[in-house]
Chains A and B, each alone.
Chain A
């Protein structure tokens, strides 16, 4: 049976059916994005920090805007060409539209990737350092002689599984282990399953002998043939160890005793954010073993310069200003934020020698390492760290929600348009008018995606 009114209009609505359908769908889409834009406003109004302005890559966002507008135009041209039966032009415009969508998504991938690789570290005094972790972040914990496993008595989420949760973090070769019975084993899935079964059997026996209601947990000790050193990201541990901890526990409950060799975080600093630091001149960032007084001087210069410039521009001649400095986004930025573009601060006059040193080629290793100062942050000074993902703050939470959902719409729209182009060859020959209506409806969705971006671009990138 043919679907009615795919080409001609239904007399009572005056529209072909698909058009009513797409508009009903778009009406619900307006509500979906409306709700998210509304939450954007709530989050922004409630934010206790200056909302990021021009923090994302504006050039990339701008290019993506042009790409989407361009594709909105080409999808209409494709429709018009099909109406005029210019089949070659129709195919070309559709192809350009789909390629624009692909370009948009590739740009988005670059943007997201940069965010995933960029880190923000909050120090205990509220100072935020941003930058890259050239080696990731792992704790080095050594002098470990035994693994203390806990085989759960009943089915439990935390049950010893050292093969999966402990051994991957051993530095170097994994040595053999000796069991409590004195047997020497290579720890792998098979040998551990046997060990676990034995431990469980002992626990069951004990429960029977002592008439316990539940089978107890059973500890198993494995002694390593040679001392172990672990290199493990803190997220792979059951709990964050305190600075200088002598015991760490893995996520399967296995605990080990030893010595913290290194728990410092190496960060290539590209920005200092002092908006939450009570005394900006006494920030931990200016400690000599971190950024040091030269950068502090640079920050104070930048801030005082910004204040002087603001007062000069908007001074009312009576010592006050005609504008509220707290309501100027750029002024706030200069007061609280500093971007670091070189390994050492740009020095003036007599300190010129430093500058040359800072820009001296590294010779070996990564070339970009010389563009930013590298600091070794001590664990006791770090309160929180995260890459630029929804976890970081509500701005990035709403940024990823909105752009992620929009990105999925781009992909969906492009798939539909690509389907018309690739799979509707027969309809193109036999019923081009119907295909033209399909393209029009797909185009309506595509324009809606463009329309959402028209709001997203200024709200997230510019304002």
Chain B
């Protein structure tokens, strides 16, 4: 992480900018949720894209994952795999329950 006073000053400016961007995107999220897109699923997808973008800013800048030691990425690689596995479980909701009944 930044250690010299100049670097820290620079980091502070960046933090304030990102904070402002996050607030702007929060307003955008709220506003978009009131817009009638072709179907409500579109609202969900757009809302989640904006939320992911905001979360990425927090993770990359506030949690300085944009420049971190290798070890941390290794730890997070495990989490990513398992988290993806959990979310892939949702695929089962698309299966016909009658198909399950044949087992």
Contact = CB atoms under 8 A, between A and B. Distances in A.
A and B interact physically: yes
Interface of A: 13-15, 19-20, 23-24, 27-28, 30-31, 34-35, 37-38, 41-42, 45-46, 53-54, 58, 62, 65-66, 69-70, 72-73, 76-77, 80, 83-84, 323-324, 327-330, 440, 443-444, 447-448, 450-451, 454-455, 457-459, 462-463
A332 to B, nearest CB: 8
Contacts of B38: 323, 327
B15 A458 contact: no
B72 to A, nearest CB: 5
Interface residues of B, number: 49
B76 interface: yes
A198 to B, nearest CB: 60
A70 B78 contact: no
A447 B3 contact: no
B58 A38 contact: no
Contacts of B58: 72, 447, 450-451, 454
B97 to A, nearest CB: 10
B42 to A, nearest CB: 9
Interface in B82-97: 82-83, 86-87, 89-90, 93
Given A80-B11, A458-B51, A463-B33, A31 B19 contact: no
Interface of B: 1, 3, 5, 8, 11-12, 15-16, 18-19, 22-23, 26, 29-30, 33-34, 36, 38-41, 43-44, 47-48, 50-51, 54-55, 58-59, 62-63, 69-72, 75-76, 78-79, 82-83, 86-87, 89-90, 93
Name, among A19, A35, A324, A458, the residue most crowded by chain B CB atoms within 10 Å (CB to CB). A458
11 contacts: A14-B71, A38-B87, A38-B90, A41-B93, A72-B62, A327-B40, A329-B40, A455-B55, A457-B26, A457-B29, A462-B29
A73 B19 contact: yes
B77 to A, nearest CB: 10
A42 B89 CA distance: 9
Listed from nearest, the 7 A-B pairs whose CB atoms lie closest are A327-B39, A462-B33, A73-B19, A27-B79, A14-B69, A34-B83, A45-B93
A28 to B, nearest CB: 8
B15 A31 contact: no
Contact of A328 (B34, B40, B44, B59): B40
B11 to A, nearest CB: 6
A31 B83 contact: yes
Given A23-B75, A42-B93, A73-B16, A458 B3 contact: no
A62 B16 contact: no
Name, among A14, A77, A454, the residue most crowded by chain B CB atoms within 10 Å (CB to CB). A454
Given A38-B90, A73-B15, A73-B19, A330 B36 contact: yes
A463 B43 contact: yes
A83 B3 contact: yes
A444 B86 contact: no
A165 B39 CA distance: 53
Contacts of B76: 23, 27
Given A13-B69, A45-B90, A454-B55, A24 B75 contact: yes
A87 to B, nearest CB: 15
A23 B26 contact: no
Given A34-B86, A440-B1, A463-B43, A454 B70 contact: no
Contacts of A41: 87, 90, 93
A249 B44 CA distance: 50
A323 B18 CA distance: 38
Nearest to A59: B30
A33 to B, nearest CB: 9
A46 B92 CA distance: 11
A328 B37 CA distance: 8
Given A72-B58, A77-B15, A80-B11, A323 B89 contact: no
Contacts of A76: 11-12, 15, 62
A69 to B, nearest CB: 5
Contacts of B30: 58, 62, 462
Given A73-B16, A80-B8, A83-B3, A27 B55 contact: no
Contacts of B16: 73
Contacts of B55: 451, 454-455
A328 B42 CA distance: 10
Nearest to A322: B38
Contacts of B75: 20, 23-24, 27
B90 A451 contact: no
Contacts of A73: 15-16, 18-19
Given A14-B71, A31-B82, A73-B16, A444 B22 contact: no
